[in-house]
Amino acid sequence: MHHDDFKFEPVRGLPEALPKGEHILWQGSPAPLRLAKEAWKLNWVLGYFAVLAVWRTGASLAMGHPLTESMAHAVPLLLLGAIAALIVTGMAWVQAKATVYTLTNKRVALRIGAALTMTLNLPYTCIANANLARTKGGHGTIAFDLVKDGARISYLMTWPHVRPWRFNPAQPALRAIPDAAKVAAIFTEAAETRISEPRITQAPMSAGVALAAE
| Closest listed residue to residue 169, CA positions, set 195, 143, 188, 191 | 143
Report CA-CA distances (Å) from 97 to 32, 59, 118, 150, 177: 8, 43, 14, 29, 12
Residues 104 and 152 in one domain: yes
72: left (phi over 0), alpha (psi -120 to 50) or beta: alpha
Give the pLDDT of residue 145: 94
What pLDDT shows up at residue 208?
41
64 within domain boundaries: yes
3-state secondary structure the chain: CCCCCCCCCCECCECCCCCCCCCEEEEECCCHHHHHHHCCCHHHHHHHHHHHHHHHHHHHHHCCCCHHHHHHHHHHHHHHHHHHHHHHHHHHHHHHHHCEEEEECCEEEEEECCCCCEEEEEEHHHEEEEEEEECCCCCEEEEEEECCCCCCCCHHHHCCCEEEEEECCEEEEEEEECCHHHHHHHHHHHHHHHHHCCCCCCCCCCHHHHHHHC
Range of the domain at 74: 35-95
Please say whether the beta carbons of 146 and 171 come within 8 A.
yes
123 and 86 in a common domain: no
| Domain-located, residue 55 | yes
Within-domain flag for 14: no
Shared domain for 109 and 56, answered yes or no, is no
Please count the structural domains in the chain: 2
Residues 116 and 162 in one domain: yes
Is 81 among the domain residues?
yes
Q: Looking at the domain assignment, is residue 170 inside a domain?
A: yes
**Would the pTM of this model clear 0.75, i.e. be above it?**
yes
Sign of torsion, CA 162 35 134 49? positive
- Print pLDDT tens along the chain (214 aa): 444 444 567 888 898 899 999 999 999 999 999 999 999 999 999 999 999 999 999 999 999 999 999 999 999 999 999 999 999 999 999 999 999 999 999 999 999 998 888 999 999 999 999 999 999 889 999 999 999 877 789 999 999 999 999 998 999 999 999 999 999 999 999 999 887 765 555 555 444 433 333 3
CATH number of the structural domain spanning residue 150: 2.30.29
Residues 121 and 52 in one domain: no
Distance CA 106, CA 167 (A): 26
Residue 116: predicted pLDDT: 86
Report the pLDDT value the prediction gives residue 1, as an integer from 0 to 100.
Answer: 41
Give the model's pLDDT for residue 207. Answer: 44
Is the domain of 43 the same as that of 82?
Answer: yes
Looking at residue 5, its pLDDT comes to 47
